A and B are shown apart, each in its own frame.
Chain A
Amino acid sequence: MNILWLQSGGCGGCTLSWLGGEHGSLFRELADEGIQLLWHPSVSEAGVDEARDLIAQCADGHTAVDVLCIEGSLLRGPRGTGGFHRFGGGAQSMIEWVRRIASRARHVVAVGSCSSWGGITAAGVNPTDACGLQYDGEASGGLLGPEFRDHSGLPVINVAGCPPHPDWITETLAALAHGRLRAEHLDDYGRPRFFADQLVHHGCPRNEYYEFKASAQKHSDQGCLMEQFGCKGTQAHADCNQRLWNGEGSCLRGGYACIRCTDPGFEEPGHPFETTPKVAGIPLGLPSDMPKAWFIALAALSKSATPARVRENATADHLLRAPSVKRGRK
């Protein structure tokens, strides 16, 4: 299975995240899975004329593309011309190249939240009219349109995240290489379910603080980040606290809130990223699938039951009180 990887209106961070994969050399891992990089802008030898010729061949069908990976938003501006990103060495806009190659590729993968939904590049006034391959924020559509299906009947596969975990990318590609990725393996937003069916909350090391609503009051505190710091971990679809980042990291482990970066529209949360919006003191974003009345009742109850240890540790940057040691069997 070969891959053609193109970058447009993004930061290149999905590639950099991918190169940080921790299972030996990524290049060897791909080779072991039977995956060849036809061309990747950051790592391939071929440049300038050779690269242009190759991409032109992919666009006109002379070179078959098994998987087209797109990293970065698709820039439709100014005024629908795509002129904010002209692919180097010629007159055509990148969106034109992407449309042509996507129509021929066996599968199309959006790597990262920019090419999935628009992402950060679509924030604010969205100066470049940025969108994703098949989504424009939460709305189906994007560059290729809601009806787009690849030659096997799949929609665009959205390996969302800002950036995605390296393994999300590699495992998606491996699943495609082995013919193991079918429509039922994608969630409602076209994200591979192997990571999108989890919540960031699952495996969060701050869970005990969450249980008792023992909240951090300032950066570097150990407490739960949901009540004050805008943490979306209980709603965000990703396995970040089970499949760790760069060894033993994750956003929560790094001491900062989950900003729900795998979801469409995360770039415009409607409130300051690191501040929890509240109505009458109650946080607006409730945990997934949790009835509001129960959440409020349980939160009030658990808050009043908070052990002193948890309460004190929540607002400190190191353990003030260790869990007590019980002697005897019970």
Chain B
Amino acid sequence: MSTRRIVGPFNRVEGDLEITLDIADGRIEAAYVNSPLYRGFEQILQGKLPADAVVLVPRICGICSVAQSAATALALADAAGVEPPNNGRLAANLTLATENLADHLTHFYLFFMPDFARADYAGRPWHAAIAERFRATTGSAPNQVLPARARFMQMMGLLAGKWPHTLAVQPGGSTRPLQSSEIFRLHRNLREFREFLETVTFGAKLEEVATLASRAQLEAWRGQAGGGDLRAFLAIADDLDLWRLGRATDRFMSYGCYNEGNRRLFPSGLWHGAAATLDIAGIHEDITHAWYAAAGLPQHPATGSTLPVAEKEGAYSWCKAPRLAGQVVEAGALARQVVAGHPLARDMIDGYGASVAARVVARLLELALVLPAMERWLTELAPGEPWCVTAALADETSGVGLIEAARGSLGHWLTVRRGRIHNYQIIAPTTWNFSPRDSAGQPGALEQALSGLPASASEPLPAAIHHVVRSFDPCMVCTVH
């Protein structure tokens, strides 16, 4: 006999999250992940002029705002058949990278680590030091990180005018031409952020972290002097065995991101024990357990629909259930690095699969991987060369925009009829990770990751559940939109 327990609101996730747990014999027998907020962006966009999407769509999300801008710009550029000039491409990379890295930092310091300061861990030898460092709002870390993050985000002031919600990211490139002295200032921001990461987060050079190639090397590196918050986390991860907590499907996807002309810094692909091609024609959204009017079979997003219904038998979330060739997949920094073939990422999932620890380490690894690329992109900017081309859209057209937000794969599918948006469908990273069940009864990635964890019907929720939920860096406002 199982007992049902409804848990919410989960905080320190972006947006609203509730989880229903069926608990039997002290363990989670089944988890049902619910996104309890619906706003209806896909309905709002219908009938709008395509160009207005650059204003409306980023406002889906305050934390993935630029990622949403980038996906819109790509979908519109695809529909118009234009490509931004070199400067526009580099500016788009820099803007997206600034958001993605800031999000990784925010997740680690403000959303994820404060759970280890909780009284649950008062008995652990590391607790006193960790609580002093990471306690929500009063710890030394959040108070040290906010000013460093704000300094880093000054890059957004120069690249995009402001953050969140810029209009600088356009299908034809960037509205913000940069002159040499401004590029110098951006270099200064990056230098300061590098120094922060190397002294505070890693206690090591970024290049040293970026070249760690296995868990054994990571463990050996942890034993070295240098301090830093990653080493503190690794000690906790070993103590609590976070390497064996939170496994989901071990099927990883990435749309790829950071256009480098003839390649992307991180390629697109699929990984399930071995590399495979990502066929986006195989994506379908299933609404069996979501509050939407049934359209029969699961739909490809290019022809998908969004018709909310107040009540529906068997439905428990506003989140649709995207599937790739019928399978549940995981998106995020870990997935991105596994697909990209980073040896540490691949080694971290070898054995116990995806885990809380692997997801967190992959995010910090990306800080070390992407910042040097940003330094390079800055040197490639060419003031005086064009930044933006005009993108004229046909009255009947369609386009797709695929990008990687900090927390994973974000896709936009746009159809234009008679000069207006006929359909605009969005699948966000957390739509993949926190989806409800599908028509075959397959639970979503988080639902799988929670299954089997210890829990009781009446005791306070075990901290492990918080770790698993937040290890995905969920963005619930994007999830349903």
CB-nearest residue of chain B to A83: B310
Choose one: A11, A15, A44, A251; the contact of B60 (CB below 8 Å).
A11
B270 within 8 A of A: no
Interface segment among A102-110, A148-156, A242-250: the answer is A242-250
Question: Is the pair B162, A47 in contact by a Cβ cutoff of 8 Å?
Answer: no
Choose one: B65, B137, B154, B168; the contact of A11 (CB below 8 Å).
B65
Q: Nearest-CB distance from B189 to chain A (Å)?
A: 8
Render B13-35 as a binary contact track against A, CB cut-off 8 A, 1 for contact.
01111100000000000000010
Question: Is the pair A124, B174 in contact by a Cβ cutoff of 8 Å?
Answer: no
Question: Is the pair A14, B38 in contact by a Cβ cutoff of 8 Å?
Answer: no
Choose one: B56, B61, B118, B168; the contact of A256 (CB below 8 Å).
B168
Interface segment among B221-229, B258-266, B385-393: the answer is B385-393
A116 within 8 A of B: no
Chain B residues within 8 Å of A318, by CB:
177, 179, 383-384
Give the CA-CA distance A240 to B413 in the complex, in Å: 34
A 247-306 contacts with B by CB, 8 A: 247-257, 259, 267, 272-275
Give the CA-CA distance A273 to B58 in the complex, in Å: 14
CB-nearest residue of chain A to B160: A254
Give the CA-CA distance A81 to B309 in the complex, in Å: 13
Question: Is the pair A28, B143 in contact by a Cβ cutoff of 8 Å?
Answer: yes
Given the known A-B contacts A47-B10, A120-B56, A248-B158, are A20 and B149 also in contact in the complex, defined by CB atoms under 8 Å?
yes
A134 within 8 A of B: no
Choose one: A21, A37, A250, A317; the contact of B386 (CB below 8 Å).
A317
Q: Nearest-CB distance from B61 to chain A (Å)?
A: 5
Choose one: A15, A89, A121, A219; the contact of B9 (CB below 8 Å).
A89
Chain B residues within 8 Å of A14, by CB:
62
Question: Is the pair A254, B176 in contact by a Cβ cutoff of 8 Å?
Answer: yes
Given the known A-B contacts A48-B9, A248-B157, are A163 and B165 also in contact in the complex, defined by CB atoms under 8 Å?
yes
Choose one: A24, A88, A219; the contact of B36 (CB below 8 Å).
A88
Question: Is the pair B114, A45 in contact by a Cβ cutoff of 8 Å?
Answer: yes
Given the known A-B contacts A13-B164, A89-B8, A249-B162, are A45 and B136 also in contact in the complex, defined by CB atoms under 8 Å?
yes
Chain B residues within 8 Å of A272, by CB:
49, 51-52
Chain A residues within 8 Å of B51, by CB:
272-275
Q: Size of chain B's interface in residues, with CB distance under 8 A?
A: 88
Q: B8, B9, B172, B173 — which one has the most chain A CB atoms within 10 A of its CB?
A: B9
Question: Is the pair A20, B153 in contact by a Cβ cutoff of 8 Å?
Answer: yes
CB-nearest residue of chain A to B103: A16
Question: Is the pair A251, B154 in contact by a Cβ cutoff of 8 Å?
Answer: no
Give the CA-CA distance A249 to B178 in the complex, in Å: 13
B 135-149 contacts with A by CB, 8 A: 135-138, 142-144, 146-147, 149
Question: Is the pair A43, B39 in contact by a Cβ cutoff of 8 Å?
Answer: no
Chain A residues within 8 Å of B477, by CB:
10-12
CB-nearest residue of chain B to A45: B136
A56 within 8 A of B: no
Give the CA-CA distance A128 to B144 in the complex, in Å: 40
CB-nearest residue of chain A to B318: A84
Question: Is the pair B142, A25 in contact by a Cβ cutoff of 8 Å?
Answer: yes
Given the known A-B contacts A12-B63, A88-B8, are A220 and B390 also in contact in the complex, defined by CB atoms under 8 Å?
no
Q: Nearest-CB distance from B312 to chain A (Å)?
A: 12
CB-nearest residue of chain A to B9: A88
A139 within 8 A of B: no
Q: Nearest-CB distance from B85 to chain A (Å)?
A: 10
B175 within 8 A of A: yes
A 163-177 contacts with B by CB, 8 A: 163
> Taking chain A's interface residues, is the majority helix, strand, or loop, or is none over half, making it mixed?
loop
Question: Is the pair B164, A17 in contact by a Cβ cutoff of 8 Å?
Answer: yes
Chain B residues within 8 Å of A75, by CB:
37-39
Question: Is the pair B157, A247 in contact by a Cβ cutoff of 8 Å?
Answer: yes
B 37-52 contacts with A by CB, 8 A: 37-40, 43-49, 51-52
B 247-265 contacts with A by CB, 8 A: none
Give the CA-CA distance A51 to B460 in the complex, in Å: 12
Give the CA-CA distance A28 to B140 in the complex, in Å: 11
Question: Is the pair A8, B37 in contact by a Cβ cutoff of 8 Å?
Answer: yes
Question: Is the pair A16, B63 in contact by a Cβ cutoff of 8 Å?
Answer: yes
Question: Is the pair A127, B43 in contact by a Cβ cutoff of 8 Å?
Answer: yes
Choose one: A37, A39, A245; the contact of B162 (CB below 8 Å).
A245
Given the known A-B contacts A11-B61, A256-B175, are A219 and B388 also in contact in the complex, defined by CB atoms under 8 Å?
yes
Chain B residues within 8 Å of A89, by CB:
6-9, 18
Chain A residues within 8 Å of B156, by CB:
246, 249
Q: Nearest-CB distance from A141 to chain B (Å)?
A: 21
Q: A13, A21, A47 — which one has the most chain B CB atoms within 10 A of its CB?
A: A47
B11 within 8 A of A: yes
CB-nearest residue of chain B to A256: B167
CB-nearest residue of chain A to B480: A84
Q: Nearest-CB distance from B456 to chain A (Å)?
A: 12
Choose one: A7, A81, A120; the contact of B310 (CB below 8 Å).
A81
Chain B residues within 8 Å of A247, by CB:
153-154, 157-158
Chain B residues within 8 Å of A26, by CB:
146
Choose one: A44, A81, A251; the contact of B137 (CB below 8 Å).
A44
Choose one: A12, A46, A78, A121; the contact of B308 (CB below 8 Å).
A78
Q: B117, B162, B163 — which one has the most chain A CB atoms within 10 A of its CB?
A: B162
The residues of A with any CB-CB pair to B shorter than 8 Å are 7-17, 19-22, 24-28, 37, 39, 41-49, 51-52, 73, 75, 78-79, 81, 83-90, 120-121, 123-128, 130, 162-163, 218-220, 222, 244-257, 259, 267, 272-275, 317-318
Sample (11) of A-B pairs whose CB atoms are under 8 Å apart: A19-B110, A20-B153, A43-B142, A123-B56, A162-B165, A246-B150, A250-B162, A254-B160, A256-B166, A259-B55, A317-B386
Apart from the given pairs A124-B45, A256-B168, 19 other A-B contacts in the complex at a CB distance below 8 Å = A16-B164, A22-B154, A24-B147, A43-B12, A43-B142, A44-B136, A47-B9, A48-B11, A125-B46, A220-B387, A246-B155, A254-B161, A254-B167, A254-B168, A254-B176, A255-B174, A274-B51, A274-B55, A318-B177
Closest 7 CB pairs of A and B: A254-B161, A13-B62, A88-B8, A249-B157, A247-B154, A255-B175, A127-B40
